[in-house]
Amino acid sequence: MKQYIVDAFTDKPFAGNPAAVCVMDKWPSEASMMKLAMENNLSSGRLKLP
């Protein structure tokens, strides 16, 4: 899994809302998604499959 932290809702670096974007090979279980959310502790997050 690759993970990126991006600035959402802005076009300026270090502004807007931080959001985690996780690129995964397969859809994770609900328990794994909850663990990712707790680990990142951010208000927004997205999962992307190739």
Q: CATH number for the domain including 24?
A: 3.10.310.10
Average of pLDDT values for 13-35? 91
Share above pLDDT 70 across residues of the chain, in percent, rounded to a whole number: 100
* Domain count for the chain: 1
Torsion angle (degrees, nearest 10) of CA 42, 4, 47, 29: -80
Mean pLDDT for the chain?
A: 89
Which two tokens mark 43?
A: 């208000």
Asked if residue 12 has pLDDT above 90, the reply is yes
* Global confidence as pTM: 0.71
Give DSSP secondary structure letters for 14-40.
T-SEEEEEEE-SSPPPHHHHHHHHHHH
Q: Which domain holds residue 25?
A: 2-48
Q: What is the pLDDT of residue 42?
A: 87
Q: What is the pLDDT of residue 26?
A: 92
Q: Which pLDDT band, with edges at 50, 70 and 90, does 49 fall under?
A: confident
Sign of CA dihedral 3, 7, 13, 14: negative
